[in-house]
């Protein structure tokens, strides 16, 4: 129980911190970073519990498993709604209304999934596979901190908002998933993930976490232009990199 609470806090703090150099990238690198940073804050007891659940292929490293749910999702689309919690754009998240699968199945959103896999890990008699529960939980706590995973239903969490990122055409969701982190890593850290992780970790403090957390809520404006602007504002708050993003 204490281990789980710590893991939650650590993952949430790590996810917030992973935004630090304008990096909000929940592609493979983003998930790796969130989990890598979180791992370094685990107590010895929590670390042993986590290692005991990891698959052999992880080589004892939680971070290596943190994109597994995205692979699983491509093979088994049932889990797709568990990766996000979009809303109609009224700046309110209403669990009963917004946490549903496409056919109205209850609890099928990232918030329901975090509850589900937390409960499964706490309950030693749960029938769910504990290794998978851990990998899902570590992934979803990362996802829920990607602003476009708490976006608007109408534009599929920014997926249909077309933008330019530097010279490439892409969409707002991908900018947050991959582009910002890729650019930051390339320009500020010579494409070296380890250096980037160390730089973020150095800045990880509780006050930093609380300072950055509110930016997660900025992405529900009805107008696409406003949403792009709020994304840019968050990128600026998140670090020194000036996101060169504009609507198409």
Nearer CB in complex with ligand NAG: 67/171: 67
Q: Does 143 bind Zn ion (CB under 5 A)?
A: yes
DSSP structural state of residue 1: -
Tell me the two tokens of residue 102: 């496409």
The footprint of ligand NAG (CB under 6 A) covers 20-21, 55, 82, 107-108, 112-113, 116, 128-129, 131-132, 199-200, 203, 239-240
Helical ranges in 54-168 per DSSP H: 68-75, 95-98, 110-122, 130-143
Query: What's the rounded Cα separation, in Å, for the pair 3 and 114?
Result: 15
Q: Looking at beta carbons only, is 55 or 214 nearer to ligand NAG?
A: 55
- Out of ligand NAG, Zn ion, none, what residue 93 binds, judged by CB under 5 to 8 A for its kind, is none
Q: Hunting for tokens 């498993």 — which residue is that?
A: 65
15 Cα distance to chain centroid = 6
Name the binder of 83 from Zn ion, ligand NAG, none, CB < 5-8 A by kind: Zn ion
Nearest distance, CB of residue 144 and ligand NAG, angstroms: 13
Q: Which residues are catalytic?
A: 26, 31, 70, 73, 83, 139, 143, 149, 173, 177
**Closest by CA position to 28, among listed 87, 86, 69, 58:** 69
87 binds, among ligand NAG, Zn ion, none (CB under 5 to 8 A by kind): none
Q: Which regions of the chain does DSSP assign to beta strands (E)?
A: 162-165, 168-171, 245-247
Of 131 and 159, nearer to ligand NAG (C-beta) is 131
């Amino acid at each position: 129980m204490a281990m789980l609470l710590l893991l939650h806090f650590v993952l949430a703090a790590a996810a917030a911190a992973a935004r630090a150099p304008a990096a909000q990238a929940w592609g493979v690198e983003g998930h790796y970073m969130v989990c890598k940073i979180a791992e370094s804050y685990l107590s010895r007891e929590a670390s042993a519990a986590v290692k005991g659940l990891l698959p052999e292929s992880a080589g004892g490293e939680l971070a290596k498993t943190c994109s597994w749910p995205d692979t699983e999702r491509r093979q088994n689309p049932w889990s797709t709604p568990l990766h996000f919690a979009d809303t109609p754009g009224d700046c309110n998240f209403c669990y009963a209304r917004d946490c549903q699968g496409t056919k109205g199945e209850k609890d099928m959103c990232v918030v329901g999934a975090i509850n589900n896999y937390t409960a499964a890990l706490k309950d030693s008699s749960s029938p769910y596979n504990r290794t998978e529960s851990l990998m899902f939980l570590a992934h979803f706590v990362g996802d829920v901190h990607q602003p476009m995973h708490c976006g608007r239903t109408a534009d599929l969490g920014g997926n249909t908002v077309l933008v330019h990122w530097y010279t490439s055409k892409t969409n707002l969701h991908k900018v947050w998933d991959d582009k910002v982190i890729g650019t930051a890593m390339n320009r500020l850290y010579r494409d070296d993930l380890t250096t980037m992780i160390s730089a973020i970790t150095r800045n990880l403090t509780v006050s930093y976490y609380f300072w950055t957390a509110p930016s997660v809520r900025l992405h529900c404006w009805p107008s696409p232009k406003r949403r792009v602007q709020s994304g840019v504002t968050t990128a600026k708050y998140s670090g020194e990199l000036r996101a060169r993003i504009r609507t198409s």
